Amino acid sequence: MSSAPNHSDPSSDHEPLLDVRGLRVSYQSSRGPVEAVGGVDLRVGRGEFVGVVGESGCGKSTLLFAVAQLLSPPAAITDGSVEFKGQNLVRLTEKQLNALRWRDYSVVMQSAMNALNPVTTIAAQFKDAILAHDRRSAEQIRARSVEVLQLVGIDPVHLGSYPHQLSGGMRQRAMIAMALLFTPDLVIMDEPTSALDVVAQRSLMVQIKELQQLLGFAVVFVTHDMSLVSHFSDRLLVMYAGQVVEAGPTRQVFDAPAHPYSRGLLDAFPSIHGPRVPLTGIPGSPPDLAEPPPGCRFAPRCPVVEEACHRVAPALYPVGGVLSRCLLDAPDRRTPATPVEATS
Amino acid sequence: MTEGLTHQEASRPAAPLPIPPLLETVELTRHFKVGAGLSRRMLHAVDGVNLVINRQEIVALVGESGSGKSTVARLLAQVHRPTSGEIRYQGRSLAALRGRRAQLAYRSDVPMVFQDPFSSLNPAYPVAHGILRGLKLHRPELGRAERQAEAERVVEAVGLSPATEILARYPHELSGGQRQRIGFAQALAYRPKLILADEPVSMLDVSIRIGLLNVMAELREREGVSFLYITHDIASARYVSDRLLVMYGGHVVESGPTEDVLAGPKHPYTQLLLSAVPDPRAPLEVDAAAAKSEPPVVIDPGPGCRFRERCPFAVERCFAETPLLRELGPAHTAACHVAVADEVPTAAV
């Protein structure tokens, strides 16, 4: 469960930019502690694009907040480390963190409508962000603000605009521009496209990818929409009930998903191509994290569940280039004769 | 679970029937005032929409945010009055509905299911409350025991069991998917002819959405209900609908049998929409048109196609003259000057 071996991890040859090990986060509730993130490992290399996908309540946003050290009570990190550029962020003081925030890593929040201040102009908000972390002259601030807006394809005249004067897509792009003010090494994104319609969504994803390739920053991209990151991320983590259930290169996870949950999630998307086939989704709902099931957390909804799954909690097992938290993929359980199940 | 997919062939339009469609709109238009005094302008949310929904048919209305699709639903639900144009229900104009009784009858025939299952149920009462109240109002002929039995029936019809236990629960004790099923059960209790479903699954998790779409398909088969399914997700529209209407900037820009529209989209906007749908099974195609994703001008719009600024095929005529829906295939229409019948428009025009 904790610190998994380094196999099948393309970034493991180099010193990773971000190295999260055995991270656990609990919320204090009236019913006792609820562990929203239960021992997650996440390694991100320089310039890498890592997608974290899962449904609501799977702990993906809590994970992101924990990595960025933005948790507030009743949530708290109970175990594990977040190594970023050689420093364990969990141990740093607020003051030390402030020296890193925006400059070395930045966060793009889900809803730009709420994240931008509605009563000040874009220019004023950019200025605030810059001055909070550096001393710059008014001209320097102006020049940098123009520069980042142009990077995301917004006309610099909008520096004088208020957030409500921009479209949803432009607001999200302005948020991304703001996150790039100091050209950080890591940009953490929490569903930045979820409020947009498909066309704007696709255009923003393409733009993020282009910027990433241009500027070389790494991205941790959290989303509930697995298909959204399919063309953009290098590696994918699939989370379920606070745990990583599958991790591997994106293409591999999509082409041959190992974990039954990943398979179910992929099969829940109706396609606009090919024949119309009846789909079922995944029956049931995720477990109550205050009382997680004793064995595999997906067992109550799993189509290929076995008796042992209700007793034995699976670890992450390497299988066909990915890691899978499924007992059927455990080395002692795997039967080589079983053909790879085709899913599409 | 599969009925929804088999129905389509049967519902292909045959010879014109003497009986009027279940619901139709004629040049339905709704403008909203924005600003005040000298800066007062008109926002054209819905402009000249002609829509037909037949019995036991699922019609999908697809478009981006701001395209006017939700305004259409609200017009049909009589939340807004049309600025001009007409809504005909079973051949009779809604403007001619007189009195509370007729209004009530229309509302029970054409209920609405809302987007957000977390705010559309009263948290202070068990779910039985809303269903029983609806029954009391819309079906006064039922006695207490009959209302209870009917409440249990509709809860089971949307795939929730055991019904008595579900009815006794409070909304916070149900998952998002279960709450949205209750939303459908409430609508079903009125014995509706047409359910207006405005983005009913967009707030739900991916693994749960399909279950709700299957509920819609089943209710159509077993209860004979029609649906207007409003969504921005064209893939889910394909999954359940018989016919598809695409809206852009307040206009219907394309309409036709779902499979025909998807197989041969005529309008450049429909083509853009289809190319933007993330499909992990398909290779990535990045087109320049997608990058220009600015919304259309719908405040005091002049004549001309509202998609012209983003359209890769726009010609002079598109700036001067608003295109009307033309038939370009069997029952397949598109509002585009450039589109060619049964062929995609080409840049060579």
Q: pLDDT tens digits for B192-212?
A: 999 999 988 887 788 888 888
pLDDT at A324: 93
Q: Is residue B118 part of a domain?
A: yes
Q: Is residue B210 part of a domain?
A: no
pLDDT at A207: 82
pLDDT at B238: 92
Q: Is residue B142 part of a domain?
A: yes
Phi, psi for residue B38 in degrees, rounded to 5: -70, -25
Tell me which residue of B120, B30, B22, B45 sits closest to B78, measured CA to CA.
B30
* B209–A268 CB contact, under 8 Å: yes
Q: Name the CA radius of gyration of chain A, rounded.
A: 21
pLDDT score of B283 more than 80: no
Q: Is residue B48 part of a domain?
A: no
Task: Please report the residues numbered 189 through 218 in chain A whose beta carbons come closer than 8 angstroms to any beta carbon of chain B.
Answer: 196-203, 206-207
* A198–B236 CB contact, under 8 Å: no
Rounded CA separation A277/A262 (Å): 19
Report pTM.
Answer: 0.81
pLDDT at A3: 42
pLDDT score of B285 more than 70: no
pLDDT at B239: 92
pLDDT at A183: 87
CA torsion angle A9 A13 A15 A18 (round to 10): -10
* A224–B206 CB contact, under 8 Å: yes
pLDDT at B274: 87
* B206–A268 CB contact, under 8 Å: yes
Residues of B in contact with A201 (CB under 8 A): 276, 278
- For chain A, 344 residues long, give each residue's pLDDT as a single digit of tens: 444 444 444 444 567 899 999 999 998 888 788 888 989 999 999 989 999 998 888 888 889 999 999 888 888 899 999 999 888 988 888 888 888 888 899 998 877 667 888 888 888 889 988 888 888 888 888 888 988 888 887 888 888 888 887 777 788 888 888 888 888 999 999 888 776 777 778 888 888 888 888 888 999 999 888 888 888 889 999 999 999 999 999 988 888 899 999 998 888 888 887 788 888 888 877 888 888 888 899 998 899 998 889 988 899 999 888 999 998 888 877 554 444 444 44
Of residues A114 and B316, which shows the higher confidence score? B316
Nearest CA in chain A to B284: A231
Amino acid at A282: I
pLDDT at A5: 45
Tokens of A132: 């909070």
Predicted ipTM of the assembly: 0.73
Per-residue CA distances from A119 to A124, A158, A179, A289 (Å): 10, 14, 20, 39
Question: A111 vs chain B: nearest CA distance in angstroms?
Answer: 15
Task: Enumerate the β-bridge partners of residue A318.
Answer: A323
* A153–B1 CB contact, under 8 Å: no
Q: Is residue B120 part of a domain?
A: yes
List alpha helices for A216-303, DSSP H.
226-229, 250-255, 260-267
Q: Is residue B212 part of a domain?
A: no
pLDDT at B116: 79
Lowest mean pLDDT among A316-330, B31-45, B263-277: B31-45
Long-range contacts, B138-141 (Cβ 8 Å, 24+): B138/B104, B138/B107, B138/B108, B138/B189, B138/B190, B139/B108, B139/B189, B139/B190, B139/B191
Average pLDDT value for residue range B148-167:
90
Q: Is residue B276 part of a domain?
A: no
pLDDT at B343: 53
**Cβ-nearest to A265 among B206, B239, B262:** B206
Rounded CA separation A303/A243 (Å): 19
Q: Give the range of the structural domain holding residue B137, as residue numbers without chain letter.
A: 112-191
Structural domains for chain A: 10-104+220-329 (3.40.50.300)
Summarised one tens digit per residue, pLDDT across range B234-250 is 989 999 999 999 999 89
Q: Is residue B241 part of a domain?
A: no
**Cβ-nearest to B64 among A199, A225, A227:** A199
Residues of B in contact with A225 (CB under 8 A): 206, 278
Model confidence at B67, in pLDDT bands (50, 70, 90)?
A: confident
- Please state, as a whole number, how many other Cβ atoms lie within 10 Å of the Cβ of residue B15: 5
DSSP letter string over B205-268?
-HHHHHHHHHHHHHHHHHH--EEEEEES-HHHHHHH-SEEEEEETTEEEEEEEHHHHHHS--SH
**Under a CB-based contact definition with an 8 Å cutoff, are residues B18 and B233 in contact?**
no
**DSSP element (H, E) containing A323:** strand A322-324
* A268–B177 CB contact, under 8 Å: no
pLDDT at A11: 43
pLDDT at B295: 66
Task: Please report the residues numbered 93 through 122 in chain A whose beta carbons come closer than 8 angstroms to any beta carbon of chain B.
Answer: none
Of residues A335 and B267, which shows the higher confidence score? B267
Domain count across chain B = 1
Count of pairs with CB atoms under 8 A, one residue in A, one in B: 124
